[in-house]
Structure 1
Amino acid sequence: MVQAYHAVPVSVEYEDADNGRPTDHEGSALLGSGTSGVGIAKSEVQKEGHATLTSSVGNLANTIIGSGMLTFPRALASSGIIPGMLTCAFCGAVSAFSLYLLSTCGRHAPHRRSSFFAIATLTFPRAAVFFDAAIAIKCFGVSISYLIIIKSLLPNVVASLYHDLSSPDTNPPAWALSGRIWISLVMVVLVPLSYLRRLDSLRHTSYIALFSCAYLVLIVVLCYFRPIEGMTPPGEVHLIKFTPSFLSTFPIQVFAFTCAQNLFPIYNELKSNSQKRMNIVIGTAIGSTTLTYEIIAVFGYLTFGSHVSANIIAMYPSTSLFIAVGQLAIAILVIFSYPLQVHPCRNCLDKVFHFESANDKLDDEAVADEHVAGELTPLKHTLLTAAVVGGGFTIAYFVDNLEMVLSFVGATGSTTISFILPGLLYWKLTKDDPNKNKLLNLSALVLAGYGSLILVFCLSYNIYNVVHPAIGNGLA
Structure 2
Amino acid sequence: MEMENLGDGEESQMLNGSVSESLNTDRVTLDEGYEADEPASQEQEGFLQHVSSQKTQFTDFEGKTSFGMSVFNLSNAIMGSGILGLAFAMSNTGIILFVILLISIALLSCYSIHLLLKCSGVVGIRAYEQLGQRAFGSVGKILAALIITVHNVGAMSSYLYIIKYELPLVIQAFLGLTKATEDWYFNGNLLIIIVSILIIMPLALMKHLGYLGYTSGFSLSCMVFFLCSVIYKKSVIPCPLNSTYTEHTVYTNGYNATEDECSPKLFTINTQTAYSIPILAFAFVCHPEVLPIYTELRSATKKRMQNVANVSIFAMFIMYLMTALFGYLTFYGKVDSEMLHTYNQVDPLDTLVLCVRLAVLVAVTLTVPVVLFPIRRAIQQLLCPEQDFRWWRHTLIAVCLLVIVNLLVIFIPNIKDIFGVIGSTSAPCLIFILPSIFYLRIVPKEKEPLLSRQKIQAALFASLGFVFMIISWSFMIVDWTTTGRSSIGGH
TM-score, shorter chain, exceeding 0.5? yes
Give the drift of 1:196.
1.5
Answer whether contact 1:69 1:256 (CA < 8 A) is retained: yes
Residue 115 (str. 1) matches residue 127 (str. 2): yes
Residue of 198, 219, 226 corresponding to 2:236: 226
Supply the AA of the counterpart residue of 1:248.
Answer: Y
Rg: which structure is higher? 2
Query: Is 2:274 the partner of 1:247?
Result: yes
Q: How does 1:315-354 map to 2 (within 5 A)?
A: 315-316=342-343, 317-354=347-384
For residues 262 and 418 of structure 2, the distance between their equivalents in structure 1, rounded to whole angstroms, comes to: 34
What corresponds to 2:209 in structure 1? Answer: 199
Structure 1 472/465 Cα, relative in aligned 2: closer, same or farther at 3 Å?
farther
> 275, 280, 294: which one pairs with 1:267?
294
Q: Is the counterpart of residue 90 in structure 1 residue 104 in structure 2?
A: yes
Deviation at 1:243, TM superposition (A): 2.5
Contact 1:14 1:272 in 2 (8 A): no
Is 2:332 the counterpart of 1:305? yes
Partner of 1:363: none
SS of equivalent to 2:25: strand
Find the aligned partners of 1:432 and 1:77 in 2 and give their Cα distance: 46
The more displaced of 180-189 and 433-442 is 433-442
Instruction: Choose which of 173, 177, 190 in structure 2 pairs with 1:181.
Output: 190
Using the alignment, how far apart are the partners of 1:257 and 1:72 within structure 2?
Answer: 12
Structure 1 308/59 Cα, relative in aligned 2: closer, same or farther at 3 Å?
Answer: same
Contact 1:161 1:321 in 2 (8 A): no
- Paired position in structure 2 for 1:80: 94
Give the AA of the match of 1:379.
W
Q: What is the TM-score of this pair, normalised by structure 1? A: 0.80
- The offset of 1:308, in angstroms, is 2.7
CA distance, structure 2, for counterparts of residue 339 and residue 304 of structure 1? 33
2:239 is the counterpart of 1:213: no
2:240 alignment partner in structure 1: none
Residues 1:445 and 2:459 are matched in the alignment: yes
Shift of 1:114: 0.8
> Percent identity at matched positions?
22
Which whole-Å CA distance do the structure 2 matches of 1:251 and 1:84 have between them?
12
- SS in structure 2 at match of 1:271: coil
Extract unaligned runs of 5+ from structure 1. 1-9, 18-22, 27-34, 355-369
- Number of residue pairs matched? 431
**Do the aligned residues in 2 keep the contact of 1:105 with 1:426 (CA within 8 Å)?**
yes
The normalised TM-score by structure 2 is: 0.78
Once residues 91 and 211 of structure 1 are traced to their aligned partners in structure 2, the CA distance between those partners, rounded to angstroms, is 24
2:470 to 456, 461, 469: 456
Change (3 A) 1:69 1:52: same
Deviation of 1:141 (Å): 3.0
3-state SS of paired residue (1:11): helix
Per the alignment, in what secondary structure is the counterpart of residue 13 of structure 1? helix
Offset, 1:334: 1.4
- Return 182-191 or 304-313, whichever deviates more: 304-313
CA offsets 1:326-361 (integer angstroms, 9 cap, x no match): 11111112111111221111111112223xxxxxxx
Cα 1:52–1:333, aligned 2, differ >3 Å: closer, same or farther?
A: same
Q: Distance in 2 between matches of 1:303 and 1:382?
A: 44
CA RMSD of superposed structures (Å) = 3.4
Cα distance in 1 for partners of 2:348, 2:106 equals 32
| 1:305 positional shift | 2.5
Matched, 1:146 2:155: no
Residue 23 of structure 2, aligned match among 11, 14, 22: 11
Deviation at 1:46, TM superposition (A): 6.2
What is the alpha-carbon distance in structure 2 between the residues aligned to residue 310 and residue 36 of structure 1?
A: 51
* Structure 2 residue matching 1:249: 3-state secondary structure: helix
Q: Is the 8 A contact 2:219 2:367 kept in 1?
A: yes
Question: Structure 1 pair 393/102, CA: closer, same or farther in 2 (3 Å)?
Answer: same
Q: Output the CA distance in 1 between the equivalents of 2:80 and 2:130.
A: 28
Matched residue type, 1:333: A
Show CA shifts across 1:183-231 (max 9, x none). Answer: 2321211111111121111112111211111111111111122335349
Q: Give the equivalent residue in structure 1 for 2:79.
A: 65
